[in-house]
């Protein structure tokens, strides 16, 4: 299977896009902008710059489209701009009680972690990058394969933590740059997030390496023979995005609700 056949949704998070900062370039699950998220220089083109103190992020209301299932996975580029920024950990990607990507709260060397929640037993978590540096882009892929949590950082080989057999479902929003649920006003991400992809099948080591593109980032629609680069170029790719979005059948573009 090609990368194009495995992707469910993709959010470029380019604030200057005609469809808005949270437009889904692949499907119809556009994200809502909370508190006018700031635009930043992304790994590919522009990105969202989440200012934690202003509670800025993008999100989609609860939908079973984002629920954990076998093969489920996400990839994204992220960067933190502060080591110690209050009394709480900071979330880059979450659907509460299902999955989360977060930075520990440390004055000097925060860790980047991933967690998923089985329907029984405790959560399965992993430290995917120790001593996270400020102002350093990190490429993260994580997913579940029916037995384990799998992850890769910066194009490296897949790592494994487990075990997982069935998954929780929960009525919370899908959040980019925040923790799902009310009352969590101190968990907003401080920094940049870019090129978030939602996958339907576990990616191979070679596919992850292609997405990482030696640190440049492979631009959507993820043509595996090229197209990456962090200079903001790629007009033909944006045309392809529009074509892919308009080509989706009416049935495939309807969200499924709980």
Half-sphere exposure of 45 (CA within 13 A, CB side): 23
Residues 62-78: tens digit of each pLDDT: 999 998 888 889 999 99
Residues 201-238: tens digit of each pLDDT: 999 999 999 999 999 999 999 875 443 333 333 333 44
Report the DSSP beta bridge partners of residue 191: 50, 80
Fold classification of 7-220 (topology level): Jelly Rolls (2.60.120)
> What local confidence, expressed as pLDDT, does residue 242 receive?
42
Whole-angstrom distance, CA of residue 181 vs CA of residue 140: 24
Please report, for residues 22, 54, 124, the alpha-carbon distance to residue 26 in angstroms, rounded to integers and kept in the order given: 12, 29, 30
pTM here is 0.82
> What local confidence, expressed as pLDDT, does residue 120 receive?
77
Out of 7-11, 23-27, 32-36, 227-231, which region has the weakest mean confidence (pLDDT)? 227-231
Q: Report the SS3 class of residue 122.
A: coil
Q: Do 90 and 105 form a contact (C-beta atoms < 8 A)?
A: yes
Per DSSP, helices labelled H in the chain are 3-6, 205-212, 235-247
By CB neighbour count within 10 A (0-12 exposed, 13-18 middle, 19+ buried), where does 245 fall?
middle
Residues 83-95: tens digit of each pLDDT: 555 556 788 999 9
Please report, for residues 45, 68, 91, 121, the alpha-carbon distance to residue 168 in angstroms, rounded to integers and kept in the order given: 35, 7, 19, 10
Residues 110-169: tens digit of each pLDDT: 889 999 988 877 889 999 999 888 889 999 999 998 789 999 999 999 999 987 877 877
Whole-angstrom distance, CA of residue 204 vs CA of residue 226: 18
> What local confidence, expressed as pLDDT, does residue 13 receive?
94
Q: Provide the pLDDT confidence category of residue 10 given band limits of 50, 70 and 90.
A: very high
- Domain coordinates of the chain in residue numbers? 7-220
């Amino acid at each position: 299977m090609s990368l194009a056949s495995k992707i469910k949704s993709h959010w470029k998070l380019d604030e200057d896009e005609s469809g808005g900062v949270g437009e889904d370039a692949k499907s119809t699950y556009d994200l809502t902008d909370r508190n006018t998220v700031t635009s930043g220089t992304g790994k590919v083109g522009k990105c969202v710059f989440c200012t934690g103190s202003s509670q800025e992020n993008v999100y989609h209301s609860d939908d079973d489209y984002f629920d954990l299932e076998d093969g489920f996975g996400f990839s994204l580029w992220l960067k933190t701009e502060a080591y110690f920024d209050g009394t709480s950990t900071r979330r880059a990607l979450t659907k509460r009680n299902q999955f989360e990507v977060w930075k520990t709260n440390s004055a000097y060397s925060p860790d980047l972690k991933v967690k998923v929640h089985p329907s029984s037993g405790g959560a399965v978590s992993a430290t995917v990058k120790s001593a996270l540096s400020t102002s350093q882009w990190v490429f993260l892929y994580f997913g579940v394969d029916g037995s384990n949590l799998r992850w890769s950082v910066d194009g490296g080989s897949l790592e494994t933590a487990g075990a997982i057999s069935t998954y929780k479902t929960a009525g919370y929003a899908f959040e980019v740059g925040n923790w799902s649920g009310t009352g969590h006003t101190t968990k907003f991400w401080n920094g940049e997030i870019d090129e978030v992809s939602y996958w339907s099948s576990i990616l191979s080591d070679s596919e992850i390496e292609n997405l990482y593109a030696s640190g440049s980032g492979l631009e959507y629609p993820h043509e595996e023979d090229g197209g990456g680069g962090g200079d903001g170029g790629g007009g033909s790719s944006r045309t392809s995005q529009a074509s892919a979005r308009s080509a989706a059948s009416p049935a495939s573009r309807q969200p499924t609700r709980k």
